[in-house]
Structure 1
Amino acid sequence: MPETNDLSQKVQSLRDQLNNWSYRYYVLDDPAVPDAEYDRLYRELKALEEAHPELVTADSPTQRVGDVPLDAFDQVQHEVPMLSLDNAFDDDDLRAFDNRIRERLDVSDTIAYVAEPKLDGLAISLLYENGELVRAATRGDGQTGENITVNARTIRSVPLKLRGDNPPARLEVRGEVVMPHGGFAELNARQEAAGQKVFANPRNAAAGSLRQLDSRITAERPLEFYAYSLAQLEGQPWPATHSAILDALKHWGLRVNPEIRVCEGVEALLAFYHGILDKRDKLDYDIDGVVYKVDRLDWQRDLGFVSRAPRWAIAHKFPAQEELTVLNGVDWQVGRTGALTPVARLEPVQVGGVTVSNATLHNIDEIRRLDIRVGDTVVVYRAGDVIPKVVRPIPERRPADAQTISLPSNCPVCGSDILRGDGEVVARCTGGLICGAQQREAIKHFASRRAMDIDGLGDKLVDALVDEGLIATVADLYRLEAARVAGLERMGEKSADNLIAALETSKKVGLGRFLFALGILQIGEETAKNLADCFGDLDGIRHASLLLLLAVPDVGLEVARAIGAFFAEADNEAVIDGLLAAGVTPQSSGQPSAAFVSSLTLAHLLKSAKRLGMDLEGIGDKTLETLGSHFASVAALSQAAAEGAGAEPGGVRSGVMVQMARALAADDWQARLQQAEQQAASLAARAPAHTESRPLEGQTWVLTGTLESLTRDQAKQGLQQLGAKVAGSVSKNTAMVVAGAAAGSKLAKAESLGVEVCDEAALMSVFKENGIDPGAL
């Protein structure tokens, strides 16, 4: 008997530890241990429970794997109806809602509301009795839902047992199940690889996963749960406010969305709305608006309900991201790299607050997969600054004369053959330098305002210079002579002199802008800036190993390969050398980022090598981190690997070093890792000893009006270099508003909120004091 008691206590201790770690991970967003440690204890618990099944309990973390398939879902009658919300579609609707609230309550002061993102998932109800999860149900029609308890139990952020020694006798929680974007992409990739149906969006994927009759399938899906309200509470007193309810839910172990805020008054609600709208595309889950609720529960009771919606809450919807329209035709555009991109010509339609008449169709494979045809009614999607895209056709609306879309056999610009390699998604024009689209677009991009900003070198002048044979590459621009330029149509001596002067001025440009100007595939302004900040000079970037590039923020596998391929191309290198020889001098600190250099550990190099194809299959990132921290260098790791089994450091399973030895010997990986290690050491020798905080770190600035001595983009880049975030709207959290000529509503709002305002001269003084040269931005 004592041995059984000891074993039972051991199993319960493991359960408690794992549940506590899950609480830290999901609710507090404060992981207590690495995933490997959680997995180790989980395996230990599972082994003990398999050996002693009588010790298995319903709340054990091992009981989330799903059960035998159901024939059908049982119906559930909601004891407290799951109601819908009225909608506000603009700021005036929200102000009207706030006015109604204050009038009904006879309150003249501001009302405290709870503002939360409106998650675009599936609403469910969780019922706990004496702390144990006993039922989960879908919303259904609000009165009747489906019993999905076996499926909800597989979701790790749904606690099977509430925390605390004195849980409520009865607790009904309402919340939303969503599928994160990363998990959604991985799920669709698995579905496609298995030849199964892919999901249209994360909401459909979440709903479909929760309604699986086989809960073992649900257990494999990346679902997350966020609690947002309380329907029943017995055995404990109700909190006085909705915000206190959310705190209580977190105390009991339920996850609450971290973006939720208490806001005083309607202006604070609007600031929250616009702030979360700006942040929307950076969240890892879909939202389609914001929900506002009166915080005080006694006021909620006083306000009551109308029809099937509460008077004390409202949903403030975002502009629609999807709409229907007709596909009128397809144009094939040739990019700077010769890639052909199909562009949909649409019947104009309002999507996401703007009129959309063109949208991307990605590539011919996507067109064929979706079976999109000219004449189809199609779904168009646009979110924030994302390029509008055609999501799918509506087959039942297809006209009889709908036309199949085919890849052209010849370049629509120069007539050269179109080449599409085996396994390649992108089709390209083989015309190279003779293709006007590639040649001209590369030069136009190089000269554009956000790149080298060569004043006066517009599209028509570029066309004229190319047509006359005066330039063939961007390096040729700096060899132009004023006399020859003056002879072009619509040019004269003064215009030619101005162009030569502008070219001279552009020679002194920030390294980030120079990199962006080169037109490297997949390199936007932000990634170019990150490259410049991390490496500190052009030479380091030109020769950087892909293993180092993968440590740069926003640089993933495909981007790193694009950068490496660009600088490995001799013609590209020749053009860069030509630019430098002509006096173009990219401005940079000359020092690599200390934070970047510190990230170039042996563990990072190993993990990056695995992403690039080094055969480390089955060796997890945690093991690679252990190896990286244990061995001082690639040479030390290689020497230990040569010793084979038994050379593994503590915590690393037997056999890893044998596999590591094989992987290092294959495809020259040891030499490649050592080369990257040497480059990292060279960068470290030039890096500052520590990362100094930037003077405007953590501050939010807003630019409004017209600036005279620099462009809005230059001002923004300068502020970002000093650590500031540059926002598009003013709120009480704004640190400073820079007001140029003809400043309007943003200035007025800053003054009403008491936000500090400065003029352009003050901004220039800030730049001067901190060594920022606006001309080099």
Structure 2
Amino acid sequence: MERLDAEKQIRELQTIINQYNYEYHVLDKPSVPDAEYDRLMRELIELEEHYPEFRTPDSPTVRVGGAILDMFEKVEHRTPMLSLGNAFNDVDLRDFDRKVRQAVGDPFTYVCELKIDGLAVSLRYEDGLFVKGATRGDGTIGEDITANLRTIKSIPLRIKEPFTMEVRGEAYMPKRSFEALNKAKEERGEEPFANPRNAAAGSLRQLDPKIAASRNLDIFLYAIADLGETGVESHSEGLDLLDTLGFKTNKERQRCADIEEVIAYVEGWVERRPNLPYDIDGIVVKVDSLEQQERLGTTAKSPRWAIAYKFPAEEVVTILKDIMLTVGRTGAITPTAILEPVRVAGTTVQRATLHNEDLIRAKDIKLGDSVVVKKAGDIIPEIVNVLPEKRTGSEVEFTMPTHCPECGSELVRLEGEVALRCINPKCPAQIREGLIHFVSRNAMNIEGLGEKVISQLFAGDLVHDVADIYKLTHEQLIGMERMGEKSVSNLLKAIEGSKGNSLEKLLFGLGIRHVGAKAAKTLAQHFGSMDALQRADAEELTSINEVGGKMAESIVAYFEMEEAADLINELRSAGVNMEYKGPKPVTAAESDSFFAGKTIVLTGKLEQLSRNEAKEKIEALGGNVAGSVSKKTDLVIAGEDAGSKLAKAQDLGLEVWDEERMLEELNK
């Protein structure tokens, strides 16, 4: 084929396939069968492989995912991505309406939109071409995830007018895609995602765009960040313009003449919410007029012209059929309620956490009870209370056992603890849970070695401790259930790759009592190597900020065990790294920040930063972020719904800041 003919054919195929994408993914009105679409796409891929000079940034072939990235670059948003204030009931909505009326005075209307439970993103177009996409981040700085966003077929790679503009939207995972993804993960023995939002966020933060491409994500655009010379005068006109340009917006939006119409819209969606093919967690209410929005203005963290109504946690009644006991890696015995299956917040729930025996007694829970169940944060099922008026007399009191359900050893309750524990170090349940913990994301992060695979390996007598993971061979794995050639190869590569992890990952993975992920990093940074930590005594350990007496005793006791020394030597012989690889922490002496040398506690919900982001920023300036309030605390930073930690800080007369004050200090 001549070059000119090839270029012409490539351009024609790009145009027609992009049109088919728009019809299928935006309009939901496909005009050709899937087989015809696939045939044209294969033809385009072959042509672009032969004539790569004719492949353009808006070619539909970019949606299959490109080269693996080394890291995500930081992106500064040209217009800040502010968070929204929250309303939880009609009173909050009417209070918002009152403030708007006081500030605006003139007649005004609202626009109500479904609050999609996904990941907020910003898309940049130059002369109509999609050039950059970023996460919200802290509202000012996000991460460049352009390569992953290009794989979402409802995002136009070129819009219908040559505008230079920035638009905002919510990337999400449809329920159908979420269910398929989790089914595949479970079949591979991997931990499933907790909810579609986590799955969407995890997909868009993959360094390999092909993974994002395989996850079937979608997006709704909800705003134009810089309107420029578009002539748009209201938010609803802006949404209509997005439709005209080829973007996908949510069609369930509604203009409301007053707050009563808003409340009626909210109440309607409380009932209809489970029927949607995607998750929503509330309703966004905005003043429609852009001129009035400008007059209302913003605070440092949220606009005064918009609010997010958050749905209350759905509560349902079902029957408690049984209480099952599990043994954790530390030997703690945890009761779990087995329920008559019931739909809660869009999913079927059959189990709920009961935490410990004291909670069962406090709530007077009996086998056979009618119980009220909700999902805490729309994620974790829990029993709210029982309905004693529904008792028939056939209910049975639950009694905790005296011996371990796994190994039969006598259970003990250690001083100062609520949980019953099995203290048999050879308890098979504890060994299995310890292995699962070792390979988990916050520990050695061995992808492909999930709970089901670990259980198979343990049951097959292939692993007895964590060092055995590094002795696994192709021959041992290939005969296991659902372990084909590719799965085995990928797993062995993941195991080999984990050897290079920094020391804190290994420390956390070992499961030393009282040593969490944060403490593991602190210890790794301070000592630098496993050898140095093994030599440390209790006095040296307690001299480190955040290491108390109990933790120090536990660390010393662990390293004094002959079994622990043998295990570490085995891991070292297998090539597992024993050194800290991260940056050296900033000391108070090296920083001139207000936070340097101070002990700070974060509590409540932060709007512009996650708790982890705030913690990292404070620690980078030489501060120490603690988990509890005490007389040694220098400062408490309180977000929304701050509870007992804030109350204790006030009782102690400690200094308390809000998030806005913290951000001012962080940005100096």
Return the index of the structure with the highest Cα Rg: 1
- Of structures 1 and 2, the one scoring higher in RCO (CA 8 A, sep 6+) is 2
- TM-score, structure 1 length as denominator? 0.43
